[in-house]
Amino acid sequence: MLITGIKSRPVYDRLIPMAKGLTHVAAGQGSGGEPLIRLLGEMNPEQLAATSVLYSSESFTGRNYLAELQGFGVGDLLVFESNGDAVSGLDSFLAGAKMGTRLYLSGSEGFIGTSMQVATAYGMNRDEVLREHAGSFVRRVWCAHCSHYSENVTRRVFRCPGCERNLVVRDHYSGRLAAFQGVKADGEVPGELPDDEELDT
């Protein structure tokens, strides 16, 4: 399990085949393709045939594992150009899922978080889902003022594209929002911004 310095950040798993699964759904993005390849390599032929893979080629690190994923004899391989499209695809896929489905998620924190929101909406229990982080810890940030989500935030202070406010990114991860919170940076003294710094990514 991966544990980071931020206590509210999720504790991630290592993807391994779940023996009791009747069907398997593996969703990943970018660098998350590497854990998916390892997972598929550990599955037996029956599990592979009962596995559907959803993969987004959008990558924050520039890593793309689509060619390697195409080499496995999975039941289905669905490819998406963006992480948002992959999460929507997962939503559609889980809408028709049956009891005994096991879900594997890998990729960025934002991708895993939004995918978990979908899984939770369909009543999937924590013991039916494994999550493995891959790539950098760029942050997904929710603006407390306009509710805009910003992806790939790497600085402590940044301008919200939704409301144009300067925000400071707090070191608290909200599972409900699947994001870190951004609040007005000069809320106490207008025009006075805190020191900017590179976030722990």
Mean of pLDDT values over 181-198: 78
First to last CA, the chain: 18
Residues 47-80, buried b or exposed e (16+ Cβ, 10 A)? bbebbbbbbbbbbbeeebbeeebeebebeebbeb
pLDDT tens digits, residue range 148-174?
A: 999 889 889 999 999 999 999 998 888
- Whether 4 shows a pLDDT value over 70: the answer reads no
In the prediction, which pLDDT does 176 show?
86
Mean of pLDDT values over 54-59: 91
Domains, the chain, in order of start with CATH, read: 23-133 (3.40.50.80), 139-184 (no CATH)
pLDDT tens digits, residue range 30-52?
A: 999 999 999 999 999 999 999 99
**88 is written with which tokens?**
């929507």
Residues in the chain: 201
Read off the pLDDT band of 189 (50, 70, 90).
low
- Whether 3 shows a pLDDT value over 80: the answer reads no
